[in-house]
């Protein structure tokens, strides 16, 4: 098998170390740019969310997990792959087939869903060698969300070489043809979801041949026969796209496909993007109308080729006045609360000045006037959207433009600049333009001829320790801008 570049091996090694790094400070951190960690959060890398009764659970890489009753304060439940982990006791023995195939001793980003057919909890786990897409994906089942999960079956594997072409193990189905890493998926990063017609789907993939989707049997949670690896949605040629997650919005009747571009390390430029479709299995289009099937490079790790695709919702940033910011935010899940009609994005992030240390973040998302979700600037603390007047929103703001680039390299952080929203509808300061309230909380902001469609929301600024007005808006070019007000 032809191995991938050393770059992917480095990423894998960083991922295997990340839960350890999450528990300690980095001695060589850039103290000049250090921002405070959140004492209410915890370290779960690649958090996948599920709500059970009144508790939100997140499951992540290395069998780490945590829970929260409010999406604000988190408690750690498990961490590290060892035989006493309560999620899968004796994990090294029970999942030995997958671990041996993947030539690894750890697990990557899982997804947990409660099947309607039997009420049990299904964990779609996966493992990967790292310097190649030598991976395995399986399912384990538990009566309770916190385990213990018992292995049911391996479903898929990738990275076969030579005559070993059995891409899927389900019902002994043989994937047709030799495995090609630039065309076929790395079988990791699953997300399992129901569509509005009760069909069950699994979207998955990372780098390699791209992001794929399979239809599952809702009675068993197993892939339906005859699909091979499923239908390709985007990616290929080792384009740095991974962590797919699909969320349906009953407000807009769209399926939103969230993705992470770039690399997960603090200098990797991880960022969250989104596309949408009227069908769970696509095709998915971004805000510019690009069909996401074309989001791939002609050569490996060609970031410039994929940067134009997908609306970028958040990347590296720092609010200068608040001394708050993130680096490499990504690998998100998302949740829609049918009772409160609130929508959230849950992801991990690193912080300026803290090396590879990471925490779980929960931000509320709101729909703009064009039916695209935007991520609000500050971590969720229970805020509700309101009816805002001109007097509520005028003032000085810390302004960030997230752009469309993948911000690789140490210190590649967009730092805020100050602007003013004036009562006459103009914007002055670091950028100039106009703004206009278009509804109770929706706003159109025009800067340099580009209009951004967004929302206002009053939020707690943890750095300033005050409630402030914020805005988040997305342009038709797929660029997000944020503002966080500076109290006068």
pTM of the full structure: 0.93
Show the tokens assigned to 139: 């399912």
Residue 267 pLDDT exceeds 80? yes
Residue 372 inside a domain? The answer is no
CB of 136 within 8 A of CB of 187? yes
Residue 349 pLDDT exceeds 70? yes
Residue 269 pLDDT exceeds 90? yes
Question: 182, 227, 233, 188: which is closest to 212 by C-alpha?
Answer: 233
pLDDT score recorded for residue 226: 87
Based on the domain organization, do 348 and 432 belong to the same domain? no
User: Does residue 373 sit in helix, strand or coil?
Assistant: strand
Strands 65-68 and 75-78: antiparallel
CB of 142 within 8 A of CB of 148? yes
Based on the domain organization, do 287 and 334 belong to the same domain? yes
- 170 pLDDT band (50/70/90 cuts)? very low
Residue 16 inside a domain? The answer is yes
Show the tokens assigned to 101: 């195939």
Domain containing residue 469: CATH number = 2.40.128.10
Which amino acids are annotated catalytic? 46, 242
Based on the domain organization, do 453 and 330 belong to the same domain? no
Give, as one character, the DSSP assignment of residue 62.
G
Count up the domains in the chain and report the number.
2
pLDDT score recorded for residue 168: 45
User: Does residue 78 sit in helix, strand or coil?
Assistant: strand
Last residue of a domain, one of 324, 352, 380: 352
Strand-pairing partners, residue 363, are 345
By CB atoms closer than 10 A (0-12, 13-18, 19+), residue 144 is: exposed
Based on the domain organization, do 336 and 434 belong to the same domain? no
Strand-pairing partners, residue 136, are 127, 157
Percentage of the chain beyond pLDDT 90 is 86
Residue 370 inside a domain? The answer is no
Residue 32 pLDDT exceeds 50? yes
The three-point CA angle 257-218-164 to 5° equals 75
pLDDT score recorded for residue 243: 98
Per residue in 180-225, pLDDT (tens digit) is 899 999 999 999 999 999 999 999 999 999 999 999 999 999 999 9
DSSP for 82-94 reads: -TT-SSSTTHHHH
Domain containing residue 260: CATH number = 2.115.10.20
Per residue in 38-89, pLDDT (tens digit) is 999 999 999 999 999 999 999 999 999 999 999 999 999 999 999 999 999 9
Residue 277 inside a domain? The answer is yes
Based on the domain organization, do 151 and 296 belong to the same domain? yes
What value does the mean pLDDT take over residues 332-353? Answer: 97
Strands 395-401 and 417-421: antiparallel
Residue 38 inside a domain? The answer is no
Answer positive or negative: Cα dihedral of 270, 38, 57, 100. positive
Based on the domain organization, do 105 and 249 belong to the same domain? yes
- 390 pLDDT band (50/70/90 cuts)? very high
Question: 379, 372, 385: which is closest to 340 by C-alpha?
Answer: 385
Cβ count within 10 A of residue 142: 18
Based on the domain organization, do 289 and 196 belong to the same domain? yes
Based on the domain organization, do 413 and 325 belong to the same domain? no
Show the tokens assigned to 151: 């292995």
- Spatial CB neighbours of 346, under 8 Å, sequence gap ≥ 6: 47, 49, 58, 71, 332, 333, 334, 335, 360, 361, 362
Based on the domain organization, do 89 and 147 belong to the same domain? yes
Query: 326: phi > 0 → left, psi -120 to 50 → alpha, else beta; which?
Result: beta
Based on the domain organization, do 328 and 415 belong to the same domain? no
Residue 282 inside a domain? The answer is yes
Residue 30 inside a domain? The answer is no
CB of 295 within 8 A of CB of 274? no
Range of the domain at 433: 390-485
C-alpha distances in Å from residue 402, one per residue of 49, 231, 305, 398, 414: 25, 31, 18, 13, 7
């Amino acid at each position: 098998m032809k191995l991938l570049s050393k770059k992917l091996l480095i990423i894998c090694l960083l991922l295997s170390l990340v839960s350890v790094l999450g528990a300690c400070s980095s001695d060589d951190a850039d103290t000049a740019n250090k921002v405070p960690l959140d004492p209410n959060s915890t370290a779960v890398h690649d958090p996948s969310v599920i709500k059970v009764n009144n508790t939100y659970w997140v499951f992540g890489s290395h069998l780490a997990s945590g829970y929260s009753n409010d999406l604000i304060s988190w408690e750690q439940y498990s961490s590290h792959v060892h035989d006493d982990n309560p999620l899968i006791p004796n994990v090294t023995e029970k999942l030995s087939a997958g671990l041996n195939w993947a030539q690894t001793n750890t697990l990557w980003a899982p997804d947990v869903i409660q099947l309607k057919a039997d009420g049990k909890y299904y964990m779609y786990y996966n493992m990967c060698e790292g310097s190649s897409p030598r991976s395995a994906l399986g399912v384990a089942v538990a009566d309770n969300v916190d385990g213990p999960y018992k292995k049911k079956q391996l479903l898929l594997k990738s990275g076969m070489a030579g005559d070993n072409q059995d891409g899927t193990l389900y019902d002994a189905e043989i994937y047709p043809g030799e495995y090609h890493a630039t065309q076929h998926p790395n079988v990791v990063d699953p997300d399992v979801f129901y569509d509005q017609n009760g069909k069950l789907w699994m979207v998955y993939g990372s780098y390699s041949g791209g992001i794929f989707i399979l239809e599952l049997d809702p009675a068993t949670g197993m892939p339906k026969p005859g699909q091979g690896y499923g239908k390709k949605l985007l990616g290929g040629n080792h384009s740095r796209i991974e962590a797919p997650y699909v969320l349906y919005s009953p407000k807009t009747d769209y399926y939103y496909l969230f993705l992470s571009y770039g690399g997960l390390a603090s200098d990797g430029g991880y960022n969250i993007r989104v596309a949408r479709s009227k069908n769970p299995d696509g095709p998915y289009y971004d805000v510019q109308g690009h069909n996401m099937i074309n989001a791939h490079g002609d050569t490996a790790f060609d970031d410039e080729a994929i940067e134009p695709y997908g609306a970028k919702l958040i990347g590296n940033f720092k609010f200068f006045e608040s001394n708050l910011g993130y680096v490499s935010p990504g690998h998100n899940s998302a949740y829609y609360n049918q009772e409160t009609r609130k929508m959230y994005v849950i992801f991990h992030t690193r912080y300026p000045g803290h090396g590879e240390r990471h925490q779980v973040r929960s931000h509320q998302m709101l729909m703009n006037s064009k039916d695209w979700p935007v991520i609000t600037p500050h971590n969720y603390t229970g805020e509700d959207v309101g009816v805002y007047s001109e007097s509520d929103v005028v003032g000085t703001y810390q302004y960030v433009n997230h752009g469309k680039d993948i911000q690789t390299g140490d210190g590649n952080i967009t730092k805020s600049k100050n602007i003013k929203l004036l009562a006459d509808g103009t914007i002055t300061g670091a950028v100039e333009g106009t703004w206009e309230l278009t509804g109770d909380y929706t706003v159109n902001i025009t800067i340099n001829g580009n209009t951004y469609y967004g929302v206002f929301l009053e939020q707690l600024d943890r750095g300033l320790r005050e409630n402030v007005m914020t805005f988040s808006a997305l342009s038709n070019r797929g660029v997000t801008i944020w503002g966080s007000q500076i109290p006068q």
